[in-house]
């Protein structure tokens, strides 16, 4: 097995895990909107964005890079 095959397999596995995490976050978000306070994901996402934006331009750039990695 060559290095490209191994890296491709690892990349595909990580993309699958990230996709699963994003899907679960979306489900938890809907559940938290329908039943407020059950999962706490709205507060957690708001806190995460606040942590990024508290650091000014560097935080915004980091948030954009993070988002571009997740959306790929």
Can you give the residue ranges of every domain in the chain? 3-71
The backbone region for 40, taken as left when phi is positive above 0, alpha when psi lies in -120 to 50, beta otherwise, is left
Given a cut of 70, whether residue 72 has pLDDT beyond it is: no
* Whole-number pLDDT of residue 59: 79
Instruction: State the pLDDT at residue 45.
Output: 82
pLDDT of residue 27: 92
Cα torsion 24, 26, 32, 35 to 10°: value is -90
Higher pLDDT among residues 63 and 2, named by residue: 2
The SS3 assignment for 14 reads: helix
The interaxial angle of helices 41-53 and 3-34, nearest 10 deg, is: 120
Whether pLDDT at 10 is above 80 = yes
Q: Which tens digits make up the pLDDT trace of 15-71?
A: 889 889 889 988 998 998 899 888 888 888 888 888 877 878 887 788 788 777 777
């Amino acid at each position: 097995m060559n290095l490209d095959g191994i890296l491709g397999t690892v990349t595909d596995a990580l993309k699958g895990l990230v996709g699963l995490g994003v899907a679960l976050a979306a489900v938890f978000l809907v559940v938290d909107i329908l039943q407020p306070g059950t999962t706490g994901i709205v507060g957690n996402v708001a806190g995460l964005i606040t942590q990024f934006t508290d650091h000014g331009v560097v935080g915004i750039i980091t948030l954009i890079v993070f988002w571009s990695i997740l959306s790929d």
